[in-house]
Amino acid sequence: MPVHPTAEQVQALSASTDASPVVMLNLLRFKAQADGIDEGITGADAYARYSVAAEPFLRSVGGRLLTSIQPKESVIGPSEPEWDLILLVEYPSRAKFLEMATNPDYLQIHAHREAALADSRLIACAQIPDDIIAQLR
């Protein structure tokens, strides 16, 4: 189950010339019990440790958490829950996201994320301009 990007995915993100803000959609499934540096606690608790430690790195590149939601029930799709937590995190650009993600100090705390997650998706998204949203209403 993916917890790390492939080399090709990192290369594509690095090669992007899109300097606009990017919203990262995080789909997260926790391990029942964390492993690695967080052995002995739940995956959710290990992710909470990661979140607290990651927040200063996020702020340092101008990023911010837009929202966090917990899925409850599927209306269309599999009846079994697929994700435990969904986050939308905005970065000023892909370059700023990569600056944070490659910071050696950040990589040290990333071990909490690895210990916490059974599966994840990280999807780079663009916000839809307000004038387009207005047309949809």
**Domain membership flag for residue 5:** no
31: containing domain: 22-136
Does residue 12 lie in a domain region?
Answer: no
Q: Is residue 81 domain-resident?
A: yes
85 domain-assigned: yes
3, part of any domain: no
What's the per-residue H, E or C state across the chain? CCCCCCHHHHHHHHHCCCCCCEEEEEEEEECCCCCHHHCCCCHHHHHHHHHHHHHHHHHHCCCEEEEEECCCCCCCCCCCCCCCEEEEEEECCHHHHHHHHCCHHHHHHHHHHHHHEEEEEEEEECCCCHHHHHHHC
pLDDT tens, residue by residue, 45-78: 999 999 999 999 999 999 999 999 999 998 998 8
Q: What is the pLDDT of residue 1?
A: 57
Answer whether residue 8 is part of any domain. no
Residue 30 lies in a domain: yes
Give the Cβ contact number of residue 122 at 10 Å: 19
95 or 2, which is more confident: 95
Rounded Cα distance between 82 and 16, Å, is 30
The CATH number of residue 86's host domain is 3.30.70.100
Based on the structure, what is the number of domains in the chain? 1
